[in-house]
Structure 1
Amino acid sequence: MSSLGQLLKNHQQKQADTKRQNDQLRKDCAKSMNELTDRLTDQVNQGVSDIFGRQKELEQESRKLGVQTSRYVKQTKQWVALVDDFNSSLKELGDVKHWAELMEHDMRTVMATLEFVHQGAEGKDSIQK
């Protein structure tokens, strides 16, 4: 029996050793999994952090672009108003030119009539003398 007792004791010792090894392997495995998970999480977080950083930059650039666009719209409206004023001025100049041409024509007509009347009056004077 002592050999049977010895076998039982050896078997129990091997089981205890196997259990300790399995426990150690489980702990090592859990530690490795935690390290892997931490590294993966760090990588994912870094990517997410980069994306959020880029998003923030894009939002800032978008705001700047909005401000610049507002300025350009305001400036464009001012330019359109200036061009409209310029067009009105040109139109008025055209109207003044047309008016001046009409006045010149009327004055020539009046002068021609006066010359005609004057010549007619001179002709009467020379006939009467």
Structure 2
Amino acid sequence: MHQCISVFHCCCTVVFALSLVDKGLRNSLLYVNWEIYLVMLSSMLKQHQAKQSKVREEQERKRQEALRALFKFNTAVTASVNNGVAMAYSNQCQIDKEMKQLQGQVSQFNRLSGQWTSMLEGFHAALKELGDVENWAKSIEEDLRTVSATLQNVNKPPDDS
């Protein structure tokens, strides 16, 4: 902004000077003012280029800073995701291990259940046989009583009555 005011001021000075002096002086003043303008414009150009360079450097610095922040963020997110994945994998391995143990225990339980069922069926058959033997014994005993009663009746002297 300051440069614009000084350029405007110089232009006004040149116009004023040109209006006041005659043509010969006007040419020499014009030449001197053009040199001043060239020096001023050259100075303004250098200042502008310096500012542009500073702006570019600042933009590059901010870009590098943003890249570092983005890299940090990416690393943190990746680490967080990787931690979650690692934890899920660890949990899955633990579940697989426990599932194999449980399958072994279920298999052993099924085998023992089969053995217990066989033993129980054998015990039941033995009880059934005992019940059959008891019935057989009762049946034999009844038959023997009948035979004994018959033999007693046969060996008994006849009644004279």
- Could you tell me the TM-score, scaled by structure 1's length? 0.92
Q: Could you list the structure 1 runs, at least 4 aligned residues long, displaced by more than 2 angstroms after superposition.
A: none
Deviations 1:8-37, CA, capped at 9 Å, x for gaps: 000001001100110111011001100010
Query: For residues 31-70 of structure 1, what are the structure 2 equivalents within 5 Å?
Result: 31-70=68-107
Amino acid in structure 1 at the alignment position of 2:58? Q
Structure 2 unaligned blocks of 5 or more: 1-37
* Match status 1:77 vs 2:91: no
In structure 2, distance between residues paired with 1:66 and 1:75: 14
**Percent of aligned pairs sharing the same letter:** 32
Cα shift at 1:101: 0.5
* Match status 1:16 vs 2:53: yes
Over aligned residue pairs, what C-alpha RMSD do you find? 1.2
Structure 1 unaligned blocks of 5 or more: none
Greater per-residue helix proportion:
1
Question: Out of 18, 40, 43, which is 1:6 matched to?
Answer: 43
Cα shift at 1:56: 0.5
Residues paired across the two proteins, number: 123
Amino acid in structure 2 at the alignment position of 1:23? E
* Match status 1:110 vs 2:155: no
User: Of the two, which has the highest radius of gyration?
Assistant: 2
Report what 1:29 is aligned to.
66
Report what 1:87 is aligned to.
124
Cα shift at 1:45: 0.5
| Structure with greater contact order relative to length (CA < 8 Å, sep ≥ 6) | 2
Amino acid in structure 2 at the alignment position of 1:109? T
